[in-house]
Amino acid sequence: VVFKVPRPRQALKMGGVAAGRDPKKLPGVQDDPSCEEALLRSFGGGGESGRGLGCEVIGKLGEGSEGVVYVVQERGEGGKRFAVKAFKARNKQGVSTAAVREVKLLRELKHDNVVRLRSVHVAKPERRVFLSYECCSTDLQQLIRRHHANRDPIPEYTVKSALWQLLRALDYLHSSWVVHRDVKPENVLVDRETGACKIADFGCAKVFRNDPRALRQSTGAVVTLWYRAPELLLGCSDYSPAIDVWALGCVFAEMLRLRPLFH
């Protein structure tokens, strides 16, 4: 079926930080004063991240196994707003492996539908790594939850627009020899103003260009369970980038059903 993809601004309209939602009230996100202190100290000076102006933490967007994502804004008139991912401290293990992997990949990847890395900061005393990104209003998981709560189906043109953008992103990643390995709604950022969808969170991603055996030797314990391809569920460690396509198919179905396809 061929369809005309709607312009993103028309296709994706939703709530989020930009719409007045208070990210500090998100359920399941715990306060961590020491982390916020280290964050503000790290961004207290330097370049596009607010050096010379300082910045303030507006709130939190979410929390995962590797860390917390904050919304931060530069002080002063016209201060830019951006997202900061604070990776959890690794006491004796040093810097988080996921942080190193994400920095390495995002410095190379450049695509409209892949989140853009702005800068990297390290708070040495706390062994904290902070990555700053362009800020999006919300994520796909919040959009689905909002429509589910209102018992209101997501418009077809919205689903088409999001799916088209995410397929473009996966095509770019796979042609760049990168498999994401954790495609799910909460890892899809959405800009409320432009309707742009961007794949984020490359902590599980893997490059397989230099070694064809890279994915064969990888653990099968990747991808969140509800979006995991059959070969991974069956314990097979020999898989391909097709696992991302399966996961996106599950996300597509979830946008239509407003609940996970396999739950």
Q: Which two tokens stand for residue 101?
A: 């992997």
CB atoms under 10 Å from CB of 262, counted, come to: 11
C-alpha closest to that of 177 among 244, 236, 233:
244
Q: Which amino acid is at 129?
A: V
Q: Which two tokens stand for residue 98?
A: 């996921």
Domain ranges of the chain: 20-134, 138-257
C-alpha closest to that of 197 among 168, 154, 227, 156:
168
Give the homologous superfamily in CATH for domain 138-257.
Transferase(Phosphotransferase) domain 1 (1.10.510.10)
From 139, 182, 191, 201, active-site residue = 182
Rounded mean pLDDT, 52-61? 70
Q: Domain 20-134 class?
A: alpha beta
For residue 64, pLDDT over 60 is answered with yes
Give the per-residue pLDDT at 165.
97
For residue 13, pLDDT over 60 is answered with no
Rounded mean pLDDT, 29-37? 57
Q: Which tens digit of pLDDT belongs to each residue from 81-126?
A: 788 888 876 656 667 778 888 888 999 999 999 999 888 887 776 6
Question: What is the pLDDT confidence band of residue 26, given thresholds at 50, 70 and 90?
Answer: very low
Give the per-residue pLDDT at 28.
39
Rounded mean pLDDT, 148-175? 95
Question: What is the pLDDT confidence band of residue 152, given thresholds at 50, 70 and 90?
Answer: very high
Q: Judge whether 32 counts as a catalytic residue.
A: no
